[in-house]
Amino acid sequence: MDIIPALIDGIYQALAPINLALCVIGVIVGLFVGAMPGLGSVNGVAILLPFTFVIQDITGTATSPMIFLAAIYYGAMYGGAISSITLGIPGASTAVATTFDGRPLALKGKAELALVTAAIASFIGATVANVFFTAFAPPLATVALKFGNPEIFALMLLAFSTFIGLGGDDIPKTLISIALGLVLATVGFDIITGEPRLQFGDPFDLFPATAGLIDTTGFSHGIRFLVLAIGVYGIGEMIWTINSTRGEVTMTEANVTFRSVLSAIKQFPKAMKGTMVGSFLGFFVGILPAAGATPGSLMAYGVTKMFSRDKESYGKGNVNGVAAPEAANNSASTGAMLPMMTLGIPGSPTTAVLLAGMVIWGLQPGPLLFSEQPDFVWPLIGSFYVSNLVAVLVNLAFIPVFLWMLRMPFTILAPMIFVLSVIGTYAAYQNMFDVWLMLLFGIGAYLLRILDYPLAPAVLAIVLGPIAEPTMRQSLILSDGSFSIFFTRPISGPIMIVAVILILLPVLNWLRVSMRKSPPV
């Protein structure tokens, strides 16, 4: 199918009343979760995923719930800037870099200039990324159609190795997170041999006295992705935020009027450089698994500053310092959709939730999506353009409303999130066992989070595990147990080599540092 007519048709379908309404609601929800400190796009989509079944029930397609979640994702990227600028604390990790110059601008009494610059830069970033996505996705999906099990496994390994090589977190802790997520994904039944495994039938068989103490029959259906995702992002992150902010924030007033918005728009050309750097860089960083919008926005800020003539003005309220990260996080969020839609490999925790959603709605993610489900793909891509336009308009029009909502005390927001998490988990599987498990994961995630254990790899791993394991084992069956199959095939070979290099990168770095430290011989 030709791209342009398909895209026009997709946009047309995204403008259908129900889809347009979902775009608007999704964007508003996204702006809200993005703006609320402690909540980001991933919390929003994870907590609301169970509620999308009702959308699927009403519309009868998987497209509408996906449009809704994608709109939340979009809105959240815009929303993060609002609290970064007015509260000085990022609404989401993706908006950390926005505080660097956004907050100084607000303190100078130019909050509305920062807010408008952020909104327009976000719009441009997302638009550039949408065009890239539309151009790159179909050919990439066509190439990916040739992939067999070894290639898919190689891609999975690449996804995990980017966490190790580029993630920037403590390496053994990242490894623990990945391994734990992958092992949790194996609980239930082995789909190849049909054997039950890790069901913890008598969990303490080492101590016979404890037999039958805990009812573990719930493990027979496996550990569902949502149970972990809601636990980590609905409970764990929330408690962590309450602990780290201690509920004390000061808000800068922003006096947003039609005239001040207009004057800020007129000043926007000054921020064009940062916007452009962010738009382009963000997309490509976003494609990389493990990278995504947060490093994308930090990198865009750094690069813009590096190539600027007055570096001193950064950190003191340079509009380019607001535009670059904001353009980049929007662009990166679309970039992260590219491997998710074409290869079935999510580039960020949020896209991992979207991928899990697609499976729940009965779609088979992967390269076949483009050829077999054009009715799903193109309206969704069309909705990217529509949501983006809706987001910039809603954002500019309702800044005062969001500022008002940000005054909602955490002591009201937090219990509501907890209630939503509990109900959402129950509604998804109608099983109290999963709700208890979700709470345990949440508390565990909080305890690990304090010690800098990264949790996003575990969330990605529990989504990718059920794909990675069978592809690996089927490849090994194909090769009679020889691992060379992954290295000798023309596509999987190079991917494996890149993955191995990424895994070794920290080791090489460590060697380099210790060589330099050791005295010359």
Residues contributing to the site for another protein (CB under 8 A): 53-54, 57, 170-173, 175-176, 179-180, 182-183, 186, 190, 192-193, 195-198, 200-201, 206, 235, 239, 242-243, 246, 409, 411-412, 414-416, 418-419, 422-423, 426-427, 430, 432, 435-436, 439, 442-443, 446-448, 450-452, 469, 472-473, 476-477, 479-482
Closest to another protein by CB, 40 vs 424, is 424
Query: What is the rounded distance in angstroms from the CA atom of residue 186 to the CA atom of residue 128?
Result: 39
For another protein, the closer CB: 259 or 518: 518
Contacts of 443 (CB under 8 A, 6+ apart): 235, 236, 239
Closest CB to another protein among 167 and 379? 167
Choice between 170 and 375, CB closer to another protein: 170
Give the nearer residue to another protein in terms of CB position, either 477 or 501.
Answer: 477
We find the least distance from the C-beta atom of residue 71 to another protein, in angstroms, to be 20
| CB closer to another protein out of 292 and 465 | 465
Query: Which helix (H) or strand (E) element contains residue 189?
Result: strand 188-189
Give the residues across from 196 on adjacent strands: 189
- Cα separation, 456 vs 161, whole angstroms: 14
Min dist CB 170 to another protein, Å, is 5
Cβ closest to another protein, residue 207 vs residue 307: 207
> How far apart are the C-alpha atoms of 161 and 469, rounded to whole Å?
16
As measured in angstroms, the least distance from the Cβ of 360 to another protein is: 15
Question: Beta-carbon neighbour count of residue 411 at 10 Å?
Answer: 9
Which of 15, 166 has the CB closer to another protein? 166
Least distance between another protein and beta carbon 182 (Å) = 5
What's the min distance (Å) between Cβ of 331 and another protein?
31
Q: How far is the CB of 105 from another protein (least distance, A)?
A: 31
What is the nearest approach in angstroms of another protein to the Cβ of residue 465? Answer: 8
Secondary element (H or E) of residue 197: strand 196-197
Q: How many CA atoms lie within 13 A of 21 on its CB side?
A: 5
Structure-token pair, residue 170: 């403590």
CA gap 367, 354 in Å, rounded: 16
Q: Which two tokens mark 224?
A: 């569902």
Give min distance, CB of 441 to another protein, in A: 12
Nearer to another protein, 193 or 518 (CB): 193
Residue closer to another protein (CB basis): 430 or 518: 430
In angstroms, give the least distance from the CB of 479 to another protein.
8
- Residue 308 exposure: Cα atoms within 13 Å on the Cβ side: 24
Residue with tokens 């000054």: 270
Contacts of 150 (CB under 8 A, 6+ apart): 471, 475, 478, 485, 486, 489, 492
Nearest to 231 by CA among 459, 438, 430: 438
CB-nearer residue toward another protein: 256 or 406? 406
> What count of Cα atoms within 13 Å lies in the side-chain half-sphere of residue 129?
35
Q: Give the pair of three-digit tokens for residue 317.
A: 């309220």
CB 71 within 8 A of CB 88: no
HSE-up of 357 (CA within 13 Å, CB side)? 32
Instruction: Give Cα 30 to chain centroid, integer Å.
Output: 13
* In the complex, least distance from residue 335 CB atom to another protein, rounded to whole angstroms: 29
State the nearest-atom distance from the C-beta of 245 to another protein, in Å. Answer: 11
Distance from C-alpha of 99 to C-alpha of 316, rounded to nearest angstrom: 11
Q: Residue 132: what residue type?
A: F
Residue 491 has a CB neighbour count (10 Å cut-off) of 16
**Per-residue tokens: 455:** 């949790």
Rounded to a whole number of angstroms, the minimum distance from the CB of residue 247 to another protein is 9
Nearer to another protein, 250 or 430 (CB): 430
In 3D space, the residue among 126, 129, 137 whose CA is nearest the CA of residue 30 turns out to be 126
- Is residue 163 within 8 A of residue 178, CB to CB? The reply is yes
User: How many Å apart are CA 497 and CA 503, to the nearest integer?
Assistant: 10
